[in-house]
Structure 1
Amino acid sequence: MTASRDDVWRVLTDPDVLPTLTPLLNRIDADSARDAAVDGYELWRWHMVRIAVLGVGIKPVFTERMTFVEGKRIEFTHAPPTGVSEWAGAEGYYALSDADPEPDGSPATHLEISLTVDVDMPLSRLAAPVVTRTMKATMDATGDRFAANLLRRLGARER
């Protein structure tokens, strides 16, 4: 994308901005005790909007351990608080690297995203194929809208 890695990093590490870019995401509560020198991560609690599949609706809230490698990588893994059962969680990463600059010398960034979402819905196993197809279509559309919103936020374009 035609944006600097620093600009992309600032957006992806801002728990107030991400919900404005991410469909289905209502808000993120980030802990305020991040001390990268001590443990290199912080906990973010993700609050999703209501999701309905086959007439069953859930409003997932889940906790992610966010690990940051400054300017290069953000890893997230489901980390529910001790003794708490969460119906949803995510695993994955954002990887950022410099791309060849634009012809005018402007910076460019390669952003790789890997995301796996697990949702435990109270449905029969017989419904699994329909639920899987529905969730895949929903996640694909969410990813496309996130990418478009990110580019718009950064005033960038895809390369």
Structure 2
Amino acid sequence: MSTAEIDIDAAVICDDVRREVTGKAILIGVWPLELTVPNYPTELFFCFHVEGAVIQSGQIEPRLVVRDEVGGTLFDSDVTAKMEPGQFVKGRFSIDFNVVFAATRSGDVEFIVTMGGASLVAAKRRIELLDVLKKEREAERATLSDNGPAS
């Protein structure tokens, strides 16, 4: 059996994904670009929703790996919830990964999706303390108000 060729259109981090009878995905609690946490260490629980197109039908064994900025693995779906290979047919697809990992410090993380023979960075996010982000936003607002309206 040949390996399917796919193209990823969207990757979304959210609290949960529900499916309608029609097959539509309902994304609940979509997360912003920053993954804010109240303190460290803390456990992050979320769903990583991936949508795209199957260009060439074939077998795929979906995998998601979350890495920190120094290359350390925070989550690997092959370790926690390995998905069995499945037949993907030409057309649209969506797949959901339930993710859990411990955030121990601020920094950037990458979400690497492997489907078939290719791996790609589907998303990059920053993990940061809520208080730090609030201070950054306040400083940005102060700078904007000090500079006056844009011309």
**TM tier, shorter chain?**
under 0.3
Query: Larger C-alpha radius of gyration, 1 or 2?
Result: 2
Question: Structure 1 length normalisation: TM-score?
Answer: 0.26
Question: Structure 2 length normalisation: TM-score?
Answer: 0.27
Q: Which has the higher helix share?
A: 1
Identify the structure with bigger relative contact order (alpha carbons < 8 Å, sequence gap 6+).
2
Q: Which has the higher strand share?
A: 2
